[in-house]
A and B are shown apart, each in its own frame.
Chain A
Amino acid sequence: MTELRGIYTLWLREVKRYIRDRARIVSSFVQPLLWLVIFGGGLRFSASALQLGNLTYEQYIFPGIVGQTLLFTSMFMGISVIWDREFGFLKEIMVAPISHFSVFIGKMLGDSTDAVIQGILVFALGALLGPTLGIALDPTIFLEALPIMILITFGLVSVGLTVASFIESLESFGVIQSFINLPLFFLSGAIIPLRGNVPSWLQIASSFDPLTYGVDALRTIVGGNAWQPLHPLYFNLLIICIFDIVMIIIGTLAFSRRK
């Protein structure tokens, strides 16, 4: 009970901090908008050589941009660990009489909530621009996509928190973050399909990227019959769940270290 209350408290803190940060919420619209409108619109006619199934390029990248938003936001959330350490608050949490597992879960759930809200905002943006970009979204699609977004976010946030717990300064976290973000983003098939005549080493590398399975699952939901998935939905979800569990264990261990 104490542990649950501790988890809830830590979750609430992260969410409150996020909701009070208006600038971050507003600015979260900008990047996906640029990708969808400029990148998507610009590549629209040159994308015919890509293996998009029966999707237009905008339809193809929309689930990818949702995945990208989840990835970038999740990784960015790691910064909260570094802030907390810098401002001393981490001490208050770490000496509290709840287990390091609960500390990690509380923080992970809180940061995941923030990241998923960002993902939902991108979905809303997609629905808003849908008619213009030719993306068909309805509430059913959203409700089916939401659990997938949540699942993939758990693992990604755990990666961000784990990495941050090993890093001392905000500056080096920024560098490390892009080292992780960009390969995971490009290899996930979010904006380029990694199948067909793509070199096989790239396809193999892509299969090691957890986001590949998340984006494929999202595309299966959003694209419907027009998309020929890489893997069956259940397989994608299974891989994501395994990724989540492994990352939560690693993250808890990383949080339990003390010097």
Chain B
Amino acid sequence: MKLLENAIETNELTRRFNDLVAVDKLNISVEQGEVFGLLGPNGAGKTTTISMLCTILKPTSGSARVNGFDIVKQDTQVRKSIGIVFQDPSIDDRLTGKENLYMHANLYGVPPGEQKPRIDRVLKLVELETRADDLLRTYSGGMRRRLEIARGLIHYPKVLFLDEPTIGLDPQTREHIWSYLEDLRKAHEITMILTTHYMEEADRLSDRIAIMDYGKIVASDTPAKLKDTLEGDVITIKTKEAAKLSSVIAGTPSVLKIDAVDEGLDLTVRGGKALLPRIVETAAKNGIFVESVSLREPNLADVFLHYTGREIRAEGGDELHGLSAIRRRRIK
């Protein structure tokens, strides 16, 4: 028996757009305080999933609960308990940065006395203090994005949805936002649902990652375990005596596979870090001269490709074209 109710629980959650099944019988559960990364190519159904959980879209079938509230029957309670950073712009460009933030604080019932300190703090975080009183239409794309993230953090929601939060931002700003998200979570135990194209973002922030493709979860686990499922690290050894080395290390239990490559060997191994010095030692004992070695641990991108079989595309998916892509994101 669990002590705490799950922050998110979906049951065969499905959404169709005419013939297209965007989300197909999705079953996920996210514990309170967990950071859950939803990773997938464009058009995989990540945004549709989030839109349903945020009560923007109605599911075609199935159900889901957010903070214990049904997303269809108790949508107001759901909306009270969540915060969202949308993938697409959702700020008023005729207002100033500060006006946008105050409006949000008021809409989300932040007590008037707390509004100013919180707004000053988030403005500082995204380094927009000096531009806070300028109209949004004078902001660059990156500045608008930063303001939206600041906005999503003003009220401290129990569940924060981040749909591609750092897309299109420069590395410094991303780093700032990531560490703020980490702090925020430590201080307030906020559950976060994150969709992203960036492997490093998912890897760094998420406790658990679900890889989504064609509306389904194809794999779900901690980043470390997902990487482990790829069965091992790759050690590349450059040497002129590849055949000799190969016969010496063949049979070592944690060496899974030996491939001869140009000027050396590619070893697929378990526990590469610990094994690497042993292999070099063995080579030396047998009088084999090793020119260079390198170790590569599998990253999430490898995991992603393993499960989805295609490269992640940072912008502009080709599953949906033009209007249908826009329509899916719009509220009607």
Contacts and interface: CB of A to CB of B under 8 A. Distances in A.
Interface residues of A, number: 30
Interface residues of B, number: 31
Interface stretch (A6-14, A50-58, A61-69): A6-14
A22 interface: no
Interface in A244-259: 257-259
Nearest to B93: A87
Contacts, number: 84
A9 B103 contact: yes
Contact of A2 (B54, B104, B109): B109
Interface in A206-258: 257-258
Interface string B50-79: 000011111000000000000000001001
Interface in A8-39: 8-10, 12-13, 16-17, 20-21
B332 A259 contact: yes
Contacts of A96: 79, 104, 107-108
B137 to A, nearest CB: 10
Contacts of B331: 85, 90-91, 94, 258-259
B106 A89 contact: no
B95 A13 contact: yes
Nearest to B84: A95
A92 B95 contact: no
A9 B145 CA distance: 22
B106 A92 contact: no
A99 interface: yes
Interface in B95-109: 95, 99, 102-104, 106-109
Interface of A: 2, 5-6, 8-10, 12-13, 16-17, 20-21, 85, 87-99, 168, 257-259
Interface of B: 54-58, 76, 79-82, 84, 86, 88-95, 99, 102-104, 106-109, 330-332
